[in-house]
Amino acid sequence: MTESSCMSKLEAELRGRFGARVAAHQPLAEFTSFRIGGPAELMVTVENQAELMAVLDAAHRADMPSFCLGSGTNLLVSDRGIRGVVVRLAGEFLNIDFDGVRVRAGAAARFGLLVENAVERGLAGLEFGEGIPGSVGGGLVMNAGAFGGEIARVVRFVHGVTIEGAARSLTNGEVGFAYRRTALPRGFVITRVDFELRPGDREALRARVAELKGKRAARQPRGLPNAGSIFKNPPGNFAGRLLESAGIKGARVGGAAFSDQHANFIVNLGGARAEDVRALIEMARARVRETSGIALEPEVRLVGEW
Ligand SMILES: Cc1cc2nc3c(=O)[nH]c(=O)nc-3n(C[C@H](O)[C@H](O)[C@H](O)COP(=O)(O)OP(=O)(O)OC[C@H]3O[C@@H](n4cnc5c(N)ncnc54)[C@H](O)[C@@H]3O)c2cc1C
């Protein structure tokens, strides 16, 4: 079978089960905080684990790639879009359940909502997450962190579905947490994360969150679509500082530019293409390498067909 006939067969199978929850050639710009990105060949929204297993199994049998989209706040989706099946989680994946200091959070739950709920219950450990956009699943994959904290420190178990469509649970140690990355099995889709927090003083936690909110507001550019920090901080240094010394602040390609407020943010000035952002990333890496000898590594994930 040719690739396009495999895809048609897969589309027919998924439409048979999920009906209007399957979209073909779905533009992805509206699903990313950058407001950039070409189409998903197929996009499917699943609402429970059985549905997710069925989609991954079908894509695997059809030999088609699958990609799990979170809230799209750390992504640069190529202008040509993403081949295969893009899976979005909804329904039961939005649930957050507290049981004493333990929390079970669905992968599609908003990370910020989890942080707020924990603070209001007087549970400590997630305050660093104030202002980090995105989902619990995306936060887990990226080992999201800020102000000295990171998600890895409060995770007990990660539950999900393998690329072949089988359920699997991992302990914290098996996730392979490192700075803004994890070593999850290829194609693993997280369904739920189990956290263990600590009892804390609600007023003190609220005060800490308010302090972090103020710090973030003072540092980050507002108003224009972006995907947060473009580069990771290299060991012992700051990407923003290196970019600023390399004179990159304000550099522009097409509709994208490095922010003049924070050198490590690229903003979409309107109508930016993924290629514009990629060109800026390459330009910045080259200049920083020339000026400091340091090779910056992107934090934003470049996905799709380039
Ligand atoms: C204004 C702004 C500020 C930010 N500040 C911070 C910050 O302070 N600290 C920080 O760490 N990050 C920050 N970020 C980056 C981003 O918010 C985080 O990386 C976030 O955790 C990504 O979550 P997401 O749901 O948007 O993931 P996405 O961007 O949708 O996806 C990121 C990766 O996770 C994968 N993924 C998502 N969900 C799942 C799942 N259920 N199963 C398997 N894989 C999945 C995707 O396939 C992709 O590879 C910021 C972004 C913005 C726009």
pLDDT recorded at residue 145: 97
How many domains is the chain partitioned into structurally? Answer: 3
Strand partners of residue 280: none
Helix H or strand E segment including 219: helix 202-219
Helix H or strand E segment including 251: none
138 C-alpha to center of ligand 1: Å? Answer: 4
Residue 45 within a domain = yes
Check if 193 has its Cβ closer than 6 Å to any atom of ligand 1: no
Do 84 and 105 lie in one domain? The reply is no
Helix H or strand E segment including 148: none
What's this model's pTM, rounded to 2 decimal places? 0.97
Q: Is the CB of residue 130 less than 8 Å from the CB of residue 209? A: yes
Check if 226 has its Cβ closer than 6 Å to any atom of ligand 1: yes
Check if 228 has its Cβ closer than 6 Å to any atom of ligand 1: yes
Q: Parallel, antiparallel, or unpaired for β 39-46 and 82-89?
A: parallel
Q: Whose CA is nearest to atom 4 of ligand 1?
A: 228
**Residues found in the chain:** 306
Check if 261 has its Cβ closer than 6 Å to any atom of ligand 1: no
Which residue's entry shows tokens 């080259």? 286
Residue 216 within a domain = no
141 C-alpha to center of ligand 1: Å? Answer: 8
Q: How far apart are CA 42 and CA 26, in angstroms?
A: 7
pLDDT recorded at residue 89: 98
Q: Compute the mean pLDDT over every residue in the chain, rounded to the nearest whole number.
A: 96
74 C-alpha to center of ligand 1: Å? Answer: 4
Do 53 and 145 lie in one domain? The reply is no
191: Cβ–Cβ under 8 A, 6 or more apart, which residues? 49, 52, 89, 93, 106, 107, 137, 159, 160, 161
Decide if pLDDT at 222 tops 90.
Answer: no
Decide if pLDDT at 1 tops 80.
Answer: no
Q: 148: buried, middle or exposed (CB in 10 Å: 19+, 13-18, 0-12)?
A: exposed
Final residue before a domain boundary, out of 174, 203, 232: 203
Residue 209 within a domain = no
Quick one: tokens of 47?
A: 């609402």
Q: Parallel, antiparallel, or unpaired for β 39-46 and 22-27?
A: antiparallel
Do 263 and 189 lie in one domain? The reply is no
From the centroid of its chain, how far is CA 130?
16
Residue 269 within a domain = yes
* Residue 179 confidence class, pLDDT cut points 50, 70, 90: very high
Q: What is the pLDDT of residues 65-84, one digit of tens each?
A: 999 999 999 999 999 999 99
Residue 238 within a domain = yes
| pLDDT, average across residues 149-154 | 98
Do 104 and 181 lie in one domain? The reply is yes
* Residue 33 confidence class, pLDDT cut points 50, 70, 90: very high
**91: DSSP letter:** G
Share of the chain above pLDDT 90, in %: 93
Residue 25 within a domain = yes
Check if 189 has its Cβ closer than 6 Å to any atom of ligand 1: yes
Q: Whose CA is nearest to atom 47 of ligand 1?
A: 68
Per-residue H/E/C for 157-215 = EEEEECCCCCEEEEEHHHHCCECCECCCCCCCEEEEEEEECEECCHHHHHHHHHHHHHH
* Residue 20 confidence class, pLDDT cut points 50, 70, 90: very high
**227: DSSP letter:** E
Residue 246 within a domain = yes
Final residue before a domain boundary, out of 203, 236, 255: 203
Final residue before a domain boundary, out of 63, 89, 115: 89
135 C-alpha to center of ligand 1: Å? Answer: 7
Residue 279 within a domain = yes
